[in-house]
Amino acid sequence: MKKTSLINVMLRCAGAVAVIFVALGMQPAAAGIADTKHNLGSSTNNDPNAVNKFNGTGEICVFCHTPHGADTTAAVPLWNRAVAAPSTYTTYNSLGTSSLDGATAPVGSVSLACLSCHDGTQAMNVMINQPGSGGYNASGSALAGAWSGANQSAGKLAAGIITNIGQDLRNDHPVGIQYGGGPKAGTVPAAPADYTNALFKDADFKDAKSAVLNGQSAWWVDTATGSAGVREKTDMLLYTRTAASALNIDGTVSATTLTGAQPFVECASCHDPHSTNATFLRIANTGSAVCLSCHIK
């Protein structure tokens, strides 16, 4: 086959795939992000929906992800930002509320990645591996360019806006907290057995579904927006963490509480950074649907 003919065949195949994506209502993640506030390079792309605009690059994914040299501290694929130490954050359990049944682990997992922008301590154009060649810095460095937009100051999320969560997390939904208050009998059933309400310390939570994915135990709360019993992006995802020590509610350690792999609530349990939903919620919160996906009230 001639080279030009082969190229034509490849182009036709690519076009066919694009037609299938359109027909199924599907689109690549970057295409969805381009129309959201997570498209930070929007002043180059002229995206009207993004308010924090940076003219240093027209790339979209690079603000969060890199194909090489990623930070593995946060449990997020190919993370392109340096993250703070877990001890940097003050967590909800320090309030001493009597309604908190679950133990809170140090901030970690996917929540560390979210907070690398949303704690407001570093500019959103600080990244480990900048576009092009020669821009790698394991500690992160600022990509040259100028910011515009009302919700930022020198590229950091502006003080006083709700998306600048800060490092004091006491006034936010708990993250790094055991789902359902943790198991009342001290054990979480091994996946793929479901982790049911009857096993929770706190009966005011709905059952968690379970599966073994890529050799790992995974849990989620089914929102009934798709296939029952199958984990989907529109379900409330619970993130598997393995406690290095047994956890008490106040963060101290005890031999009487659970260690090992178990489901925790994290930032991305409710939020999907690749979603086009308002405030990146996994489902619309009409009638408090997000809250009532997990909480029985």
Q: Give mean pLDDT, residues 181-205.
A: 90
Average per-residue pLDDT for the chain: 83
Better pLDDT: 73 or 140: 140
pLDDT surpassing 50 at residue 161: yes
Q: Give mean pLDDT, residues 8-31.
A: 39
Q: Give mean pLDDT, residues 106-130.
A: 95
Q: Where are the domains of the chain?
A: 31-102+111-157, 177-294
Q: Mean pLDDT lowest for which of 6-10, 54-58, 248-252?
A: 6-10
pLDDT of residue 15: 40
Better pLDDT: 148 or 172: 172
**Helix and strand totals (H; E) in the chain:** 6, 11
pLDDT of residue 163: 95
pLDDT surpassing 70 at residue 25: no
pLDDT of residue 160: 93
Better pLDDT: 23 or 244: 244
User: Cβ contacts of residue 181 below 8 Å, gap of 6+?
Assistant: 101, 102, 200, 201, 202, 205
pLDDT surpassing 50 at residue 65: yes
Q: Give mean pLDDT, residues 201-223.
A: 94
User: Cβ contacts of residue 234 below 8 Å, gap of 6+?
Assistant: 223, 225, 226, 282, 283
pLDDT of residue 198: 96
CA dist 246 and 158 (Å) reads: 37
Q: Give mean pLDDT, residues 18-42.
A: 58
CA dist 44 and 125 (Å) reads: 14
CA dist 127 and 137 (Å) reads: 8
Q: Tens digit of pLDDT for each residue in 269-295?
A: 999 999 989 899 999 999 999 999 999
CA dist 155 and 124 (Å) reads: 6
pLDDT surpassing 60 at residue 50: no
pLDDT band with cut points at 50, 70 and 90 for residue 149: confident
